[in-house]
Amino acid sequence: MSGNRVARTLVGVLAGAVLGIVELFFLCVAWPASLIAATRPAAERGVARLIALERARLARWLGHDTASAGGGIGFLAARAALGVVAGYGFASALFLTGLLLFGGAWDLVTGGSESVAVNLPGVRMITNSGILGLTSAGFLLMLIVLATAAMGAAERRLADHFLGPGRQEIMRRRIAELTATRSGIVRAVDDERRRIERDLHDGVQQRGVALAMLLGRARHGADPARTGELVAQAYTESRRLLDELRSVAWRIYPTALDELGLRAALAGVTERSSVPVTVHYGLVGRPVSEVETALYFIAREAITNAIKHAGARDILVVLGEDEEKVSVTVSDDGVGGANPSGGGLSGLARRVRALDGTFTVESPPGGPTKIEATLPKDAPCG
DSSP 216-241: HHHHH---HHHHHHHHHHHHHHHHHH
The DSSP code for 28 is H
Tens of pLDDT, residue by residue over 58-95, are 888 887 776 555 567 788 888 888 888 888 888 888 89
**Which value, in Å, is the radius of gyration of the alpha carbons in the chain?**
36
- Mean pLDDT of the 324-353 span: 84
DSSP string across 200-221: IIIIIIHHHHHHHHHHHHHHH-
Phi first, then psi: what are they for 277, rounded to 5°?
-125, 125
Task: Tell me how far apart the alpha carbons of residues 257 and 21 are, in angstroms, rounded to a whole number.
Answer: 64
Binned at pLDDT 50, 70 and 90, residue 371 comes out as: very high
Nearest to 374 by CA among 362, 357, 360, 361: 357
The structural architecture, per CATH, of the domain 256-376 is 2-Layer Sandwich (3.30)
Q: 382 pLDDT band (50/70/90 cuts)?
A: very low
Contact 328, 298 (CB under 8 A): yes
**Which pLDDT does position 232 carry in this prediction?**
84
Query: Rounded mean pLDDT of 226-240?
Result: 80
pLDDT digits (tens, 9 = 90+) for 102-156: 888 887 778 776 776 666 676 666 777 778 788 888 888 899 888 888 888 888 8
Which of 115-129, 196-210, 301-315 has the lowest average pLDDT?
115-129
What is the domain partition of the chain in residue ranges?
Answer: 3-165, 176-252, 256-376
Compute the distance between CA of residue 277 and CA of residue 267 in angstroms, rounded to an integer: 9
- Helix (H) / strand (E) containing 369: strand 369-376
Q: How confident is the model at residue 377 (pLDDT cuts 50, 70, 90)?
A: confident
Q: Which residues contact 333 (CB under 8 A, 6 or more apart)?
A: 312, 313, 314, 367, 368
* Cα–Cα distance, 114 to 346 (Å, whole number): 76
Q: Nearest 5 degrees, angle CA 204-CA 210-CA 212?
A: 100
Confirm if 147 and 90 have CB atoms less than 8 A apart.
yes
**Mean pLDDT value of segment 212-229:** 78
